Amino acid sequence: MTLLLEESVKFGVQGIFRGVGRPSEPWVPDIHDAMRLVRLVDNLGFDSMWVGDHVAFAVPILDSITQLAWAAAQSDRLAFGTSIYLLPLRHPTPVAKQIAALDHLCGGRLVFGVGVGGEFPGEFEACGVDVLKRGRLLDEGVGVLKKLWQSGTVSHKGDFFSFSEVELLPAPLQRGGPAIWCGGRSEAALRRAGQLCDGYISYVVTPKMFQSSMEKICVAAEAAGRHIQNYGTGHLLFPRIDDTYEQALDSASRSLSERYGMDFRRADEKYCALGSSADVAARISEYIEA
């Protein structure tokens, strides 16, 4: 089986409201700076803007859904998405309501990227969620979202969530709800992407790893009896253009190590697009060809 992928390649930017490092003073979001960023991305012709999601993170970050609702008011052209929303931290029913509303605010130009997270176990503890159950919570949560985004009254009885005769109004602007894309690199994440989701977002993988992941997703989709039209794919790539590769590596390493609160240099060497503009373009082409 071959997944029918989208025919065109599109480019987006991730990040709107996010602190950098651990400043001596509390970080205060700069609304005007963020507005300039969204408008710059729009004016430069990028196709989309994306935000990450954490409850507790190494650096300050605003709530993802709130960010996108604000950003959607700044552009009537850009698409918007989460990359990645940690659905297991929340009950899926109110999330379904929020995303349905956000789909209207985005004019139907919304992709809902979800994943299990787990790199920061403290945020699971803070939300009263067993981090070891995050995969099962995500599987069931995706099913709840899709069920609630159908028209009419629905019921659900699962291992974690149950409800009877609930109708979500208004329904999302996109019929059946926005596309749900799955993030992750594990075997379980790839199975989930093929069996349950409408697309896949990769992160810290090489082009060869991306190609292998798509093959596994295809196998999972076929095993589930799915025939998917226009399966979505995306990759979160960190580019850095500089005079030399080493300068680009040093800059990327400092920036990403601050962003994630850990030493990112070895990952930068393996997964980033670094060097001259030609070097970065060539690296991007490798992912497109994969």
Q: 65 and 197 in one domain? A: yes
**pLDDT tens per residue, range 144-198:** 999 999 989 999 999 999 999 999 999 999 999 999 999 999 999 999 999 999 9
Alpha helix stretches (DSSP H) within 107-161: 121-126, 134-148
Quick check: 258 and 60 in contact, CB under 8 A?
A: no
Give the bridge partners for 236, in sequence order.
Answer: 203
Q: Is the pTM of this model over 0.85?
A: yes
Separation in Å, CA 285 to CA 32, 87, 207: 34, 32, 9
Checking if the pLDDT of 214 tops 80, the result is yes
Count the domains in the chain. Answer: 2
Q: How far apart are CA 19 and CA 36, in angstroms?
A: 16
The reported pLDDT for the residue numbered 235 is 95
Q: Is the pLDDT of residue 5 over 70?
A: no
User: Per-residue pLDDT for 1 more than 70?
Assistant: no
pLDDT, one tens digit per residue, over 10-25 is: 999 998 776 665 556 7
Cross-strand partners of 181 = 113, 199
Domain that holds residue 181: 12-236
**pLDDT bracket for residue 55 (50, 70, 90):** very high
CATH number, domain with residue 117: 3.20.20.30
163 and 246 inside one domain: no
- pLDDT value of position 28: 84
Residue 3 belongs to a domain: no
Structure tokens belonging to residue 283? 């690296």
| 56, part of any domain | yes
The one-letter code for the residue type at 212 is: S
**195 and 72 co-located in one domain:** yes
The answer to whether the Cα torsion of 205, 210, 212, 216 is positive or negative is positive
Instruction: Identify whether the C-beta of residue 138 lies closer than 8 Å to the C-beta of residue 84.
Output: no
Same domain, 50 and 151: yes
Q: What is the pLDDT of residues 73-87, one digit of tens each?
A: 999 999 999 999 999
**Nearest in space to 237 (alpha carbons), one of 201, 188, 187:** 201
